[in-house]
Amino acid sequence: MSLVHILALVVLAAGSFFLLVGSIGLIRFPDFYSRCHATGKSDTLGVMLVIFGLVLIEGLTLNSAKLLIILAFVGLTNPTATHALARAAFRFGLKVWFRKPPAGERPEGPSQES
């Protein structure tokens, strides 16, 4: 097992870790816009890392060229799709979530009671 293969396995493990973190953020965050933040960046980085690890294992062939095309495509389109969805939700009229201020403290900023 050469050094490139060990590096590829490490990159694959890191990519699946980022996919897991993005999924947990999709569950745990309180708001639609913060969920967009979780899944738009973590998932993109995870998919790109996994595909890069597969390219390292595959070597220099036609398939790895196609894999690099998929990598570039995902890196372009996944944040674009998330941004389009968030913009459409803002036009849809979805309220932005604000943290509730502690008791006995005046709310500041544009936080309105919903």
Partner 1 sequence: MLEHEFFLVLASVLAVIIFIPLYRVLAGPRLPDRMLGAGAIGTKAMVLILLFGFIFDRLDMFVDITLAYAVLNFIGTVAMAKYLSSRREGKP
Q: Which residues bind partner 1 (CB under 8 A)?
A: 1, 5, 9, 12-13, 15-16, 19-20, 22-24, 26-27, 32, 35-36, 39, 43, 46-47, 50-51, 54, 57-58, 62-63, 66-67, 69-70, 73-74, 77-78, 80-82, 84-85, 87-89, 91-94
Q: How many CB atoms lie within 10 A of CB 59?
A: 9
Percentages helix, strand, coil for the chain (3-state, rounded to 5) are 75, 0, 25
If residue 83 lies in a helix (H) or strand (E), which one and from where to where? helix 62-92
Q: Considering beta carbons, is residue 3 or 103 the nearer one to partner 1?
A: 3
Q: Considering beta carbons, is residue 91 or 100 the nearer one to partner 1?
A: 91
